[in-house]
A and B are shown apart, each in its own frame.
Chain A
């Protein structure tokens, strides 16, 4: 099998990605408020069986082959809500195609640190609304990214209907594929080490942690004199962010 991930040549992790420890008994909503983040990418690592299967599937993206810390990616709209593509079934399934699977999620629903022990907030774009504006394009153009097809592929894996890892056949994890597609429309490469079809939260995490040199170069090219900025394009920056990993290796929920 061809290696789907290319290693960064960086010898040290990105210093602009730092840990913000959780306070005793602190929920994720409170932790996010302390980061002051109201935009950017949010990652969650959950402990349900579905989350664990997603985290396990991404282990091929890690040198040590341990499960990923992350199972869900989203775009923060404000301190309380984010856009994402969770696999949880909710409401009328007829609503999935018209919205291309994209849903507005509440941070409060992801507050429980036992249910979601790992959280990160990451910024790849400088201030501006280009990334948010790109959401509508991904929502309206299924031809740009067919998220329902990814949902079907991953539900099949999560439910063990088909035990082949969808990442190996180029089906990205829906929430991460959505986040990556939005950044791609805004001209920001979110996973420079991975073919876009294999998007996953772990790849986004690896980009923030190890590919700062690439983004430094991207920012330099974008700021070069005489380079016009296309409408709808965001300004790339060296990734920055905060994270807390309460459970570094996937474990079952306490009552499991």
Chain B
């Protein structure tokens, strides 16, 4: 791999609570001996324990530090200082104790997925986030899959096979290229440092249609190749993105569960998450005392893909565990909003359950399209949820809103609390100027 000229430091806020934030600190190369972290202008000690990922004689080290005892709803900007100079910075804030009421600025989540750094040479995604008006700036960023395309460019991975160490070098290089992308106007680093960030994975954080073999990724044609790729990809995902699956955060009565439907997926069409995570998800939904947000890597309002799924892209409904997910979702005691990506188009759909509760599905994809042949073909959601028969669950009609996008974009979701209700306003923002209105209203609804 091409080593970076000097040590590069990274900083981010990976998770938050009303009284704390989680600082993620990484160094590509040897961390500076006098590295200092400041939180809201105050020095905070670094930990001694670094997780290290090495490849080709080069190493990246990272650690996460939880800072507690902070007042809720406040900005606590993070700064990393080495040799007396600022080497990295990130926005961070504690979550508000309750949802704001009008006229205060809504609690805002930025939702995006599918970022191919090779297709964003002009750093447009970060520039678009930078341009957001103050009222739409995120408190939390959720990146719901394919933050890196480890299997791109496709021709390279079709032409060559790799040893484990070669995979480690190439994949680490891809992470460093993606995480360090910056320009005067933007860059993906701007997205990663704009707010407290939560991650869930999807296939390209491993390889297309993982864990099944991908036709254009020769390394995945053998069990040994799959295993090596998987070990490297998961180690990097845990180092740079999320060390654990099933993170939960809450603002007042609004609660969010960031699930992962890829890393533990089985090739035999049985499950897409661990039994433990499904149990935690069920407990979270049953315990909701207000509306819930469920982050998953792929849409839920889908049918089975059939034989094509073996070679291209299996969806959640192709797995036996989907029935369990349907039961859990259908049992929600409050309205639920599913946040997802993957499909390279934007869509908003709603299912009114027999219980009277509503399940909305919001799709935000892509941020930077990996290749024009992967351009999304917008389609309506399935007519009923679940589209496949699930014993003991009654089907309910699904309405697809007229909103549709196939360009590169991201969404913001603004939440305000009024009485026992939560108002949600969803807005779409194009990455490329001229590809659509700047700030297109997608949906405005009340959650109970």
Pairing of A with B = yes
Name A's B-contacting residues (CB within 8 A).
1-3, 6-7, 9, 137, 141, 143-144, 170, 181, 184-185, 187-189, 191-197, 214-215, 217-218, 221-222, 230, 233, 236
Cβ contact of A217, chosen from B101, B102, B103, B420, cutoff 8 A = B420
Q: A206 to chain B: closest CB distance in Å?
A: 13
The listed residue (B350, B444, B448) touching A214 by CB distance below 8 A is B448
Q: Which single residue of chain B is at the shortest CB-CB distance from A9?
A: B356
Chain B residues whose C-beta falls within 8 Å of the C-beta of A2 in the assembled complex = 350, 399, 401, 443
- Asked whether, in the complex, the Cβ of A214 is within 8 Å of the Cβ of B103, the reply is no
Q: Which residues of A contact B423 (CB under 8 A)?
A: 195-196
Query: What sequence of 0s and 1s flags, for each residue 96-113 of chain B, a beta carbon within 8 Å of any chain A beta carbon?
Result: 000001110000000000
- Kindly identify which residue among A1, A3, A144, A189 contacts B419, using a CB–CB cutoff of 8 Å: A189
B418 within 8 A of A: yes
Are A188 and B444 in contact (CB-based, < 8 A)?
no
- Majority secondary structure, A binding face: loop
Q: Are A218 and B420 in contact (CB under 8 A)?
A: yes
B356's contact among A7, A141, A184, A196, by CB below 8 Å, is which? A7
Asked if A196 and B420 sit within 8 Å, CB to CB, the answer is no
Let me know if A189 and B358 touch, CB within 8 A. no
**Would you call B101 and A187 a contact (CB within 8 A)?**
yes
Q: Which of chain A's residues has its CB closest to B441's CB? A: A170
- Residues of chain A contacted by B421 (CB below 8 angstroms): 189, 192, 214
Docked Cα-Cα span, A214 to B418, in Å, equals 12
Residues of B within 8 A of A181 (CB): 102
Q: Which 7 A-B pairs have the closest CB atoms?
A: A189-B419, A218-B419, A189-B421, A218-B420, A189-B418, A195-B444, A144-B103
Least Cβ–Cβ distance between B334 and chain A, in angstroms: 12
Q: Given A9-B356, A189-B418 in contact, is the A197-B102 Cβ separation under 8 Å?
A: no
B413-448 contacts to A (CB < 8 Å): 417-421, 423, 441, 443-446, 448
**B313 close to chain A: CB less than 8 A:** no
Asked if B120 is an interface residue, CB under 8 A from chain A, the answer is no
CB distance from B130 to the nearest CB of A (A): 22
Q: Which residues of A contact B444 (CB under 8 A)?
A: 170, 195-197
Considering only CB atoms and an 8 Å cut-off, how many residues of chain B contact the other chain?
Answer: 22
Report yes or no: A184 in contact with B102, Cβ–Cβ below 8 A. Answer: yes
Residue pair A185, B420 in contact (C-beta under 8 Å)? no
B352 in the interface (beta carbon within 8 A): yes
Nearest CB in chain A: distance from B45 CB, A: 34
A-binding residues in B (CB < 8 A):
101-103, 350, 352, 356, 358, 399, 401-402, 417-421, 423, 441, 443-446, 448
**A143 cross-chain contacts in B, Cβ below 8 A:** 103
Whole-angstrom distance from the CB of A213 to the nearest CB of chain B? 10
Residue of B nearest to A215 (CB): B419
Interfacial chain A residues near B418, Cβ < 8 Å: 184, 187-189
**Nearest chain B CB to A178 CB, angstrom units:** 13
Q: How far is the CB of B338 from chain A (nearest CB, A)?
A: 16
Contacts of A233 in B (CB 8 A): 101
Q: Please list 13 pairs of residues, one from A and one from B, whose beta carbons are closer than 8 Å in the complex, sorted by A's number.
A: A2-B399, A3-B399, A6-B356, A7-B356, A141-B103, A143-B103, A184-B102, A185-B101, A189-B419, A189-B420, A196-B423, A214-B420, A236-B419
Measured CB to CB, the closest approach of chain B to A81, in angstroms, equals 25
Closest to B358 in A: A6
Given contacts A6-B446, A196-B423, 6 further A-B contacts (CB under 8 A): A9-B356, A144-B103, A189-B419, A195-B446, A196-B446, A214-B421
Nearest chain B CB to A173 CB, angstrom units: 16
How long is the Cα–Cα vector from A193 to B420 in the complex, in angstroms? 12
Selected from A170, A185, A230, the residue in CB contact (under 8 A) with B102 is A185
CB distance from A1 to the nearest CB of B (A): 8
Q: Which residue of B lies closest to A197 (CB)?
A: B444
Question: Which residues from B are CB-within-8-Å of A197?
Answer: 444
B448 touches A192 (CB 8 A): yes
- List residues of chain B with CB within 8 A of the CB of A196: 423, 444, 446
B residues near A192, Cβ cutoff 8 Å: 419-421, 446, 448
Q: Which residues of A contact B399 (CB under 8 A)?
A: 1-3
A138: nearest chain-B partner, CB-CB:
B103
Please measure, in the bound complex, the distance between the C-alpha atom of A233 and the C-alpha atom of B103, giving whole angstroms: 12
Q: How far is the CA of A170 from the CA of B401 in the complex (A)?
A: 13
B417 to chain A, nearest CB (A): 8
| Beta-carbon contact of B103 and A185 below 8 Å | yes
A193 contacts B101, C-beta separation under 8 Å = no
- The one of A6, A184, A194 in contact with B352, judged by C-beta atoms closer than 8 angstroms, is A6
Closest residue of chain B to A181 (Cβ to Cβ) is: B102
When chains A and B are docked, how far (Å) is the Cα of A230 from the Cα of B419? 12
Name A8's closest neighbour in chain B (CB-CB): B356
Per the bound structure, the CA–CA distance linking A7 and B399 in Å amounts to: 16
Q: Which residues of A have CB within 8 Å of B441? A: 170
A111 to B170, CA, bound (A): 80
In the complex the two chains form, what is the Cα distance from A187 to B356 in whole Å? 24
A222 CB contacts on chain B under 8 angstroms: 419
- Cα A189 to Cα B352 in complex, Å, equals 21
Which partner residue on chain A sits nearest B335 by CB separation? A6
CA distance A185 to B446 in the complex (A): 16
Question: Which of chain B's residues have a CB closer than 8 A to the CB of A188?
Answer: 418-419
B309 CB to closest chain A CB (Å) equals 29
* Most chain A beta-carbon contacts within 10 A, residue among B419, B445, B446, B448: B419
Q: When A2-B399, A9-B356, A189-B419 are in contact, do A195 and B445 touch as well, CB less than 8 Å?
A: yes
Contacts of A194 in B (CB 8 A): 446
Closest residue of chain A to B356 (Cβ to Cβ) is A9
Most chain A C-beta atoms within 10 Å of own C-beta, residue among B352, B417, B443, B444: B444
Nearest B-chain residue to A230, judged by Cβ = B101
**A230 / chain B contacts, CB cutoff of 8 Å:** 101
Verify A221–B401 contact, CB threshold 8 A.
no
- Closest Cβ of chain A to B396, distance in Å, is 13
B264 to chain A, nearest CB (A): 34
Residue of A whose beta carbon sits closest to that of B97: A228
Q: How far is the CA of A1 from the CA of B401 in the complex (A)?
A: 7
Q: How far is the CA of A193 from the CA of B356 in the complex (A)?
A: 11
Query: With A and B bound together, what is the CA distance between A215 and B421 in angstroms?
Result: 10
Inter-chain CA distance A218–B101, complex, in Å, is 15
A3 to B443 Cα, complex, angstroms: 12
